[in-house]
Amino acid sequence: MKLFCKEEEVSVYTTTIKDVVRFDLAMDFVGIGLSFRQTAEAMQKAKTRTKTAKLTGLNDSIVDLYTHVLVAVALQQIAIILDDESVWAMSLAGDDSTHRGQSFFDLRVRACYRGELVNLHLAVIPMFDRHSAVNIFNLIVKFMDAMYNKWRAKLIGVSTDGENTMTGHHAGVVTRLVNCADHNVLRIWCAPHQIDIVVKARAKGINNGDWVKQAYSFSVDLHAQDNLIIAMNVKCPKKPIDGRTWAAC
């Protein structure tokens, strides 16, 4: 945060980038997927090849600070868009996932800005707690309050998957968001999860649920056999019967 300075008269932060060329090129490298350390190395190579003194002195810590500035400016621009008088409503779309052992919550916002529909990626927020409805809800509210505290008055739609944590009728994430919004909210589930719910309901009706029970018991038995083979580090012996090969167990 040392690049940001708080204005005394107004509650805003400002930052000044002195080496604009170095900043723009570094962010170009980060934008194509280079890590902070790789960006610093690439900048050094570019400085050597082009003999451009303005690219001197960049390391991964400075790239980290530059990225903080870019993210802050991007979020501020999104807040300005949402606060525009042409934007009278907005919807949120979110989903949680895990990448390389780290849990994240992905959040997007959709709005009609000056006659054009915009679909903006807000953030991928790391989650260090359990993926419970309370934790996800608090994460969303904390982020939205920090970025744009008027979001409750404009929220009219929430899109999620069909997981119980998200869509629970009494304490799901969507239910909590709906309760804190100022107006009625349209809930949208993704189509595959809706189809999955219908298929499960229809399958349970076959033979009064006996088919699901038998299929589940069979799958459990197959899984148990795989676990037994792994634990014993052996496979079932096979022996020929009537010229054909059959498993002995």
* Domain-located, residue 11: yes
14-23, 87-96, 238-247: least confidently modelled range = 238-247
Token pair for 13? 């932060």
Counting the structural domains of the chain, the total is 3
pLDDT of 237 reads: 58
* Domain-located, residue 197: no
* Domain-located, residue 156: yes
177-198 burial, b for 16+ CB within 10 Å, e for fewer?
A: bbeebeeebeeebeeeeeeeee
| HSE-up (13 A, CA, CB side) for residue 34 | 17
The sign of the dihedral angle between the CA atoms of 145, 147, 152, 158 is: negative
89-98, 151-160, 203-212: least confidently modelled range = 203-212
**Do 147 and 239 belong together in one domain?**
no
* Domain-located, residue 126: yes
Q: Which among 40, 58, 82 is the end of a domain?
A: 82
* Domain-located, residue 226: yes
Structural domain including 73 reads: 5-82
For 62-78, write each residue's pLDDT tens digit: 999 999 999 989 999 99
Q: Which among 38, 61, 82 is the end of a domain?
A: 82
pLDDT of 97 reads: 75
pTM, entire model: 0.68
Per-residue pLDDT band at 207 (split at 50, 70, 90): confident
Judge contact between 103 and 125, C-beta under 8 A: no
**Do 68 and 95 belong together in one domain?**
no
Judge contact between 29 and 38, C-beta under 8 A: yes
188 vs 99, higher pLDDT: 188
